[in-house]
Amino acid sequence: MAFGFFTQELAIDLGTANTVIFQNDQIVLDEPSIVAIDNNTGKCIAIGQKAKLMHERINPGIKTVRPLKDGVIADFNAAEMMIRGFIKQVNSKHHSIFSPNLKIVVGIPSGSTEVEIRAVRDSSEHAGGRDVYLIFEPMAAALGIGLDVEAPKGNMVVDIGGGTAEIAVISLGGIVVQESIKTAGDELTNDIQYYLRQQHNIRVGEITAEKIKIGVGAVIPQLDDEPEPFIVRGPNLMTAHPVEARITYQEIAHCLDKSIAKIESSILHVLEQTPPELYSDIVENGIYLSGGGALLRGLAQRFTEKVNIQFHVAEDPLRAVARGTCIALKNAANYSFLKR
């Protein structure tokens, strides 16, 4: 392997909300999945955090695009610009006269169609990837949580990301039962926007709704550790005068109730289809929560009461998929579940 040092290995969690890149077990990039494009030239002006600052605050000559919708690539061109830009950012930290061979592992939703899978592969190859491997996100989440995915026993993971909630039962290095639904972080943000319009007559943007979700996001009306109410300011829908409202976590628990119930019924649906031997393993080991949605206050408690199986929130759930993708990259030769 004389030219080994020319090969650069990157593990990419290409998320609807955020993209995380690992290299050599280190996070080298964690940025919002968003691109700002010049409407006249079609050129990329900014990506990641810089583009997010422009989101919903832009002039007619610039548009911001989130290339991924519901966990899959919706805008091929913007996705390619974004992946290429992120890889360039990572490489700018390592000055080299050679452009390295890129070996990439990318996490994708388990419900992806062949067309969607090809879109991710093509975007990664056009952005410079020579060897591109794909891994389903629930499998990556299970690896990132630290579960032994190749053992002859059942593990169940619920990964609630920005675009999709992935529910999967894993055994012997394969996904036995899985369901991927579009009720996830973005949908919850929309619920909050809708609720504020209906109940408080306030119009808020996506960014503010996201801050409310992080600040007072909860799914049960009774918490031991209560967060302070969130003060939201915005235009009154009727008068356009500025108004402010105190939003409590109880209100958010009420407004997210229907969406969380959809995730609950998907979990029960997956459990119904699980073979009995694996089911008993899951009852013994519990079910693991990962993704940004796992950070909602009271989620594990609500699911545990609903399903009667213990739920555990993964350590650093936001980055579980990225960590798992990194582990898969190191063992790419041994893992049969990686798609090429």
What is the distance between the alpha carbons of residues 229 and 14, in angstroms, rounded to a whole number? 33
Q: What's the one-letter identity of residue 225?
A: D
Report the candidate in 37, 34, 1 with the shortest Cα–Cα distance to residue 18. Answer: 34
Joined together, the tokens standing for residue 49 give 């955090």
Task: For the domain covering 4-140+321-330, report its CATH number.
Answer: 3.30.420.40
Task: For the domain covering 153-183+260-318, report its CATH number.
Answer: 3.30.420.40
pLDDT of residue 105: 92
Indicate the pairing of strand 155-160 with strand 287-290: parallel
Extract the runs of DSSP E, i.e. beta strands, from the chain.
7-14, 18-23, 26-32, 35-38, 44-47, 62-65, 68-69, 72-73, 101-108, 129-136, 155-160, 165-171, 174-181, 230-235, 242-247, 287-290, 311-313
What is the distance between the alpha carbons of residues 266 and 214, in angstroms, rounded to a whole number? 24
Domains of the chain: which residue ranges?
Answer: 4-140+321-330, 153-183+260-318, 185-255
pLDDT of residue 94: 61
Average pLDDT for consecutive 10-residue bins of the chain (340 residues)? 62 91 90 93 93 85 90 87 89 62 87 86 86 92 94 95 94 93 94 96 93 96 94 92 95 96 97 96 97 96 96 94 91 77
pTM for this model (two decimals): 0.91
- The answer to whether 153-183+260-318 and 185-255 have equal CATH topology is no
* CATH class (in words) of the domain with range 185-255: alpha beta
